[in-house]
Structure 1
Amino acid sequence: MTLGNNIQKIRKEAHLSQEEFAELFQVSRQTISNWENSKSYPDLETIVKISDSFHISLDILLKEDLIMVKTFDKEVKSTKKYARALMVIGLVFVLLVGGFGIYSGVYVHTKNKLEKNFEKQLKENDFHKNKEGFYSMNYKDGVVYSVPNQSMPGLLDFSLEFHVSNVYCDVDLEDSYVEITWENSDRFYASARAKKDDVVIGSTSEFKDGDFSDMKKLGDELGMSEEEISQIMDKGKELCEDFYGEK
């Protein structure tokens, strides 16, 4: 017996016309006629409603209707797959939202910590804003240190540090200008340019790793005494640690 025959039997045993049966499940009379003649089938939800409404198990309702059993089985499997897919998508979404929430908290904490420390070091080291928009400090005659006007990248830049962590030093010598840039407390590069024709007369561009810690070699390259360059380098390293050592 097909599902259509079973529906017809249920309807007649309940003494319902096709119109009355159709009203129960909010479909048209023609739809009921098509079900009973096996021209079409109810959807999965409606089959369950018929089963519940007339207290007939799905096994009996679908018995011997192999086509409908296969269709029902496919719909059940599709529903389960869909539910599993939704669960996976939901889990991924929760993890993403949770992860972003944790990152946002870490970002705000880091931003406040780094920016407050930067402001603190400006005051403690007596830096003042200059016309280029940097902050600078006169260390002694002819020696000026400077740092960029720092602020943290935006939240969606996904960075937990300043874009640059540089300290600069400009030294005004009798016949040349020396420029030193620290990328961090252990890494720097430097050059010396002649005042007369602005030609580079000394540079660390050819230095090997061990040369950077040789203050005599560095002083000779830049036209300064070992004592002078050592003092300048020590101060630059100290400022790097002060401004950017907080993590």
Structure 2
Amino acid sequence: MITSGGGGDPAQPLQQLPLAEVDQPRVLSVVSEVLEKLVARNDQLSGGAGKSPRPPLNAFQGVRAPAISLGKYAERIYKYTSCSPSCFVVGFVYIDRLVHKHPDSLVVSLNVHRLLVTSVMVASKMLDDAHYNNAFYARVGGVSNVELNRLELELLFLLDFGVTVSSRVFESYCQHLEKQTTLVERPLLNGDVVSEISVEEDTHISSSPPHPTPTPTHLPS
């Protein structure tokens, strides 16, 4: 389970909950593989298993690494939230921006799951016409609603609310992800998803545009 001092536990461990039968876009494997390589390197730098939390990512730090793999965790987020595949690329952009803005921070096994679910959730609010609310993402991600609300605010302030991604930047990250992985098929995503991202580059916004929030109909039991 993903837990922390202030977070609640889901009804069952994430690895024991069933996954819906949904085809997996390749981008999930690509992003997961790149993040896993980064985490493996950073865990060594931090003394093993990310045991040396470094500000300002302390808010995302857990007591221990979750039992569920990052790849399965990404699959779970996608299958239950039905977010667009492009959200995982944009979520990766947010994580990359975060570590560049705060070079003293490391993405490690103790924080990468929380970083991923928070980043993908924010990306879905930016990209998708309809998306699930924070409470549903929290249930899927294995954290409490209160904790995810706090993590969302933490991420936005750490990024200085710089959550707009241009189509050019989006494409450059797709190319970067392909170069960093052994999976080389193209395309990562359908071509039409690029148009969902703002063409204004380096634009900082104060809040996400309002979107309708559908009622969850397939909560994991």
Same fold, judged at TM 0.5 (above): no
Task: Give the structure-2-normalised TM-score.
Answer: 0.21
Bigger-Rg structure (1/2): 1
Task: Give the structure-1-normalised TM-score.
Answer: 0.20
Identify the structure with the greater strand proportion. 1
**Bigger RCO of structures 1 and 2 (CA < 8 A, at least 6 apart):** 2
